[in-house]
Amino acid sequence: MDRLVLLGSKGGPAVRSGGPWPSSSLLEIGGRTIVVDCGLGVTRALTDAGVSLNALDLIFVTHLHSDHVLELGPLIHTAWTAGLATPVTVFGPPGTGYYWQCFCQAMEFDIEIRIIDEGRPDIRDLITVEEFGEGAVLDERGLTVAALRVDHPPVTDCFALRFEQSGKSVVFSADTAFFPPLAEFAKAADILVHEAMLEEGVERLVARTGNGARLREHLLASHSFADEAGRIASDAGVTRLVLNHLIPADDPAIGEDDWIDAVRKTWSGDLTIARDGLVVGLGGQKAASGEETA
Ligand SMILES: [Zn+2]
Ligand SMILES: [Zn+2]
């Protein structure tokens, strides 16, 4: 069954007891197992979602902020020790190849010893890293992927991604300030997964953070408020909007109703507020458990 699973739903790299985890998503579409972003916790969340790690197929990284890439190497390495024997392609912005090369160097002792001692294939031969820019990224067995450079200063290589297979389409905004060209890029998609901040939550977050003024400046310049995500979804005419990469994500004073109130100013269609492990069915199929129906 085709499905989207929001593995990690918070924005930013810090984790707190009982709170949600950084960015990663699973897209199962047309028999492909696709991971989008590899924030901390992606490996555990994939196994919790019932995915066999040695079935990993395609990995996409939207940009090299740690809340999207920190666990890329550990995910692949763990899949390898779980029996991965088929090639995996990692698509990421410029710099992804360097990350992977350095990860393999850092883990060289373990990799070499497992090849010799356990007879495993060389992990460095199983993985291909394809660095991409804006435009067409992949066209393979009916799956097409396209990228759009979004507005996430000071990061310049940050890309929204559009996945299409058998008439179904899912778009990820990546991290971005309000960026009107995303509406055209996400045109008529079945699902738009868009990042979101909540204004009053940001003020509370800034107030309790040491480096508050700088943090506030960064957030406002490089992320979108929930109503801005709703504006993109409305202009694009998507079927369902998923608010994800939530900032703040672990403020006990902020609940799902606050997010819904904020986004309903600009979006009246199907809506999902992400939480870790939430399953969203694709193409009108029913998800097995935990499916959001709001
Ligand atoms: Zn992020
Ligand atoms: Zn970012």
The per-residue pLDDT for range 224-235, each reduced to its tens digit, is 999 999 999 999
Is residue 135 situated within a structural domain? yes
The answer to whether position 44 is within a domain reads yes
| Nearest-angstrom CA–CA distance, 22 and 249 | 10
Whole-angstrom Cα distance, residue 262 to residue 285?
28
**Number of domain units in the chain:** 1
In-domain check, residue 27: yes
Q: What is the token pair recorded at 104?
A: 């393999």
Rounded-to-integer distance, Cα 227 and Cα 288, Å: 30
Give the model confidence (pLDDT) of 44-82 as tens digits.
999 999 999 999 999 999 999 999 999 999 999 999 999
Q: Which two tokens stand for residue 184?
A: 């055209």
Residue 293: pLDDT band (50, 70, 90) is very low
pLDDT for residue 173 is more than 80: yes
**Mean model confidence pLDDT for the chain:** 94
Percent of the chain with pLDDT over 90: 87
Task: Work out the average pLDDT over 155-181.
Answer: 97
Contacts of 284 (CB under 8 A, 6+ apart): none
State the ligand closest to the CA atom of 22: 1
Q: Which amino acid is at 191?
A: I
160 domain-assigned: yes
The pLDDT score that the predictor gives to residue 284 is: 53
Compute how many other C-beta atoms are within 10 angstroms of the C-beta atom of residue 186: 27
CA of 130 relative to ligand 2 center, distance in Å: 20
pLDDT top residue among 204 and 28: 28
Ligand nearest to the CA of 39: 1
pLDDT digits (tens, 9 = 90+) for 72-102: 999 999 999 999 999 999 999 999 999 999 9
Rounded distance from Cα 123 to ligand 2 centre (Å): 28
Judged against a pLDDT cut of 60, whether residue 144 lies above it is answered with yes
Residue listed under structure tokens 């890439």: 69
User: Is there a contact between 180 and 235 (Cβ–Cβ < 8 Å)?
Assistant: yes
For residue 24, give the ligand nearest its CA. Answer: 1
Residue 183's domain is classified under what CATH number? Answer: 3.60.15.10
* Residue predicted with more confidence, 143 or 290: 143
Q: Where are the alpha helices (DSSP H) in 119-170?
A: 123-126
pLDDT band at 289 (very low <50, low <70, confident <90, very high): very low
Q: How confident is the model at residue 41 (pLDDT cuts 50, 70, 90)?
A: very high
pLDDT digit string, tens, across residues 208-266: 877 778 888 999 999 999 999 999 999 999 999 999 999 999 898 999 999 999 999 99
Q: Ligand 2 center to residue 63 CA distance, Å?
A: 7
Ligand 1 center to residue 245 CA distance, Å?
7
Whole-number Å distance, alpha carbon 53 to ligand 2 midpoint, is 26
If residue 45 lies in a helix (H) or strand (E), which one and from where to where? helix 42-48
Residue 291, in any domain of the structure: no
Q: Which domain holds residue 114?
A: 3-281
Ion ligand 2, residues whose Cβ is below 5 A away: 65, 175
Least confident range of 24-33, 122-131, 158-167, 278-287: 278-287
So what's the pLDDT on residue 209? 78
Residue 287 lies in a domain: no
Closest CA to 19 of 29, 10, 28: 10
Whether the pLDDT of residue 285 is over 80: the answer is no
Is 157 marked active-site? Answer: no
Does the predicted TM-score (pTM) go above 0.85? yes
Instruction: Indicate if the pLDDT at residue 195 is higher than 60.
Output: yes
Residue 292 lies in a domain: no
Residue 7 within any structural domain of the chain: yes
Reading the block at residue 233, the tokens are: 């979804």
Q: Which residues make Cβ contacts (< 8 Å) with residue 259, sequence separation at least 6?
A: 196, 198, 226, 243, 246, 273
Q: What is the pLDDT of residue 294?
A: 42
Give me the pLDDT at residue 286, please: 43
pLDDT of 291 strictly over 70: no
- Pick the catalytic residue: 67, 190, 251, 276? 67
